[in-house]
A and B are shown apart, each in its own frame.
Chain A
């Protein structure tokens, strides 16, 4: 902006004007800067509105300034503005259609999406409802995979949990103490394990991803998602949360619109019944006290 102001204020020598047409060059440059600034604002708007394409941290848009670049830039800006309008209408329609979406900001909804998509990072089959129900129980108690899931459910990264458990003979308590005591060195240990055992995060002796590997993600997903769902109602059927996550995952895998998918699943979970936490009316204790006094009085005056 400062550069643009200075350029607009600059006096162009006549010889430069005659030789290069400097005024038209400056004008074109300033116009392109303005369009780029508008484009940046449009992109930020799309990002804050939660448009999935423009919320990706890896999203980049590079444009070179050239004499003939202005029409293309303006065209792109119009496309972005149009896209923003369409997206806003789409979000509004989804919010109108699915009441429970209105308990979450777009940032919240994107986080839910990120949580649901997280298992995609782990090589796994697309779960069916039946399969996911059984997979959440996979991993026998005290096995390394099970203990990794327990430790990582407390907030530690699963690779760190695996590395700590390997160094503590699969002892849960010792592993957690180890994680607290060696937090700065865990990444190095994970790298060492990756060299020694293969892929980081795999349990020792288990080269291929197995259902146990997904347990950690699913546990974390359930815990996080459950906490978020309590923002809708004081009563959440926690047992149904993994199913909700699975259903969302399947819908995403099928390419369904996430907003609608989430809206449908939330409606199924919360239904249309009102949840109310009742308490006695104010002054109830005083009323009870007065009532008992009347009772006592009537008893006393009774012949």
Chain B
């Protein structure tokens, strides 16, 4: 690995007359790893404008501008930059030809004396640009996943702000609840943070992501009456990733989380993530874990894996306390407690005249307190069967059952009160 690093650093730091390199990866999914590895080996985070992830929306102008930034980089102190066109295979044949022509034309016009390093990374073999620059081909391998994770953790800690992926072992495992609870607890302790949820779905594009983030920022600022421009009130973005995600989701996350800038090229609107903005990404559970695997970049982030167990059973429930949905309170989850008490009473035979614990005057409100362990166990007993479709119990199933049974038990209470008064 060390030799490989030296080789790559040696090449990139000026081993060639023209600092232009092309490489291709085995699969398109590896492009992010290779791109990240290059910057990790250079011990730095990519700067805005340094990496262009090609998409179907990438224009020749975008490519030309990156080439211009590359060819004259040393004139403005950017000689150490590595300008990368990643996902080269996403460019059309005509665009790749244009890229080659542009690069050659700029080299002829400027020569390479003021150029930084240009790296073209294709996710597929036999691309025009790769073939045209085959004499500049280098075989780049990515770092180990653990090394990439470590590098990203450093990047977030030192420069970009708190960034974390929250996953659970099963769908309905309490990811949303966990994120909201974390924010609610910090708000309760007096931290000036505002929560905002930003969805990422199949139809999410850089444009809609920018719009959502800008809207979320506006809501957070509007929610804080004491807001003044330039204040350091931080924002926690709950990035809720759906089961079906766009093909460019991983690169959008790369740009938002690591580079720090997302651009809507159509409206020229930008979103800049400063270090005060924390991002918690809710990763979806999908069959075969396909969504999480498609989000390669997210899988490299510092992460928390939630489990459904008695230890993680929470007897509070996050609710919004302002119209902007930025402030969260954590009142007691009374419904779950009451339902669990009812179920416990059934289980212990309080309504069975043949039982020794028969208690016709049972009052759920004065019944003995119940622990979260007991609540979990009693709910698992009625919600989950080892022979059922779900391999593990789900908090989401608990929630549904509690909502349903709570209404039924309330009717029982009303009936008791009615009987009580009619007997009197």
A residues at B contact (CB < 8 Å): 95-96, 99-100, 102-108, 110-111, 150-151, 153-156, 172-173, 176-177, 180, 219, 222-223, 226-228, 230-234, 238, 267, 270-285
Q: Total A-B residue pairs with C-beta atoms closer than 8 Å?
A: 142
Q: Which residues of A contact B324 (CB under 8 A)?
A: 176, 180
17 A-B pairs with CB atoms under 8 Å apart are: A99-B76, A105-B265, A105-B268, A107-B268, A110-B268, A111-B267, A150-B228, A154-B227, A226-B272, A234-B47, A234-B159, A274-B78, A276-B47, A278-B44, A282-B151, A283-B147, A285-B150
Q: Which residues of A contact B270 (CB under 8 A)?
A: 227-228, 230-231
How far does the Cβ of B243 sit from chain A's closest Cβ, in whole Å?
30
Using A230-B270, A280-B154 as known contacts, say yes or no to A271 and B229 having CB atoms under 8 A apart: no
In the complex, the answer to whether B47 meets A231 with C-beta atoms within 8 Å is no
Q: Does B62 contact A (CB under 8 A)?
A: yes
Q: Does B221 contact A (CB under 8 A)?
A: yes
Q: Which residues of A contact B229 (CB under 8 A)?
A: 150, 153, 219, 222-223
Binds A, one of B10-18, B65-73, B341-349, B408-416: B65-73
In the bound assembly, the distance between CA atoms of A153 and B65 in angstroms comes to 31
In the bound assembly, the distance between CA atoms of A153 and B260 in angstroms comes to 21
In the complex, the answer to whether B45 meets A277 with C-beta atoms within 8 Å is yes
In the bound assembly, the distance between CA atoms of A100 and B154 in angstroms comes to 29
Q: Which residues of A contact B75 (CB under 8 A)?
A: 99, 272
How far does the Cβ of B40 sit from chain A's closest Cβ, in whole Å?
5
Of A151, A233, A271, A272, which one neighbours B222 at CB under 8 angstroms?
A: A151
Which B residue sits closest to A227, measured CB to CB? B270
Which B residue sits closest to A102, measured CB to CB? B68
In the bound assembly, the distance between CA atoms of A252 and B280 in angstroms comes to 43
B residues at A contact (CB < 8 Å): 1, 5, 37, 40-41, 43-45, 47-49, 59, 61-62, 65, 68-69, 72-73, 75-81, 143, 147-148, 150-151, 154-155, 158-159, 214-215, 218-219, 221-223, 225, 227-230, 260-261, 263, 265-272, 323-324
> Which of A110, A111, A153, A277 is packed against the most chain B CB atoms within 10 Å?
A277
Q: Which residues of B contact A282 (CB under 8 A)?
A: 5, 37, 40-41, 143, 147-148, 150-151
How far does the Cβ of B20 sit from chain A's closest Cβ, in whole Å?
17
Which B residue sits closest to A149, measured CB to CB? B229
Of B45, B81, B261, B323, which one neighbours A231 at CB under 8 angstroms?
A: B261
In the complex, the answer to whether B65 meets A230 with C-beta atoms within 8 Å is no
Q: Which residues of B contact A155 (CB under 8 A)?
A: 214-215, 218
New contact pairs (5) apart from A155-B218, A271-B77, CB-CB < 8 Å: A108-B268, A153-B221, A154-B218, A231-B261, A279-B154
How far does the Cβ of A237 sit from chain B's closest Cβ, in whole Å?
13
In the bound assembly, the distance between CA atoms of A262 and B313 in angstroms comes to 57
In the bound assembly, the distance between CA atoms of A76 and B295 in angstroms comes to 53
Using A153-B229, A227-B270, A227-B272 as known contacts, say yes or no to A278 and B43 having CB atoms under 8 A apart: yes
In the complex, the answer to whether B272 meets A274 with C-beta atoms within 8 Å is no
Which B residue sits closest to A223, measured CB to CB? B229
Q: Which residues of A contact B268 (CB under 8 A)?
A: 105, 107-108, 110-111, 228
How far does the Cβ of A203 sit from chain B's closest Cβ, in whole Å?
19
In the bound assembly, the distance between CA atoms of A226 and B143 in angstroms comes to 35
In the bound assembly, the distance between CA atoms of A173 and B148 in angstroms comes to 44
How far does the Cβ of A139 sit from chain B's closest Cβ, in whole Å?
12
Q: Which residues of B contact A233 (CB under 8 A)?
A: 47-48
How far does the Cβ of A254 sit from chain B's closest Cβ, in whole Å?
25
Q: Which residues of A contact B267 (CB under 8 A)?
A: 111
In the complex, the answer to whether A277 meets B65 with C-beta atoms within 8 Å is no
How far does the Cβ of A97 sit from chain B's closest Cβ, in whole Å?
10
How far does the Cβ of A263 sit from chain B's closest Cβ, in whole Å?
11
In the bound assembly, the distance between CA atoms of A233 and B73 in angstroms comes to 13
In the bound assembly, the distance between CA atoms of A173 and B81 in angstroms comes to 45
How far does the Cβ of B363 sit from chain A's closest Cβ, in whole Å?
41
Q: Which residues of B contact A180 (CB under 8 A)?
A: 222, 323-324
Q: Which residues of A contact B47 (CB under 8 A)?
A: 233-234, 275-277
How far does the Cβ of B58 sit from chain A's closest Cβ, in whole Å?
11
Using A154-B221, A230-B260 as known contacts, say yes or no to A272 and B271 having CB atoms under 8 A apart: no
Which A residue sits closest to B275, measured CB to CB? A234
In the complex, the answer to whether B230 meets A238 with C-beta atoms within 8 Å is yes
In the bound assembly, the distance between CA atoms of A271 and B188 in angstroms comes to 44
Q: Which residues of B contact A96 (CB under 8 A)?
A: 72
In the complex, the answer to whether A231 meets B263 with C-beta atoms within 8 Å is yes
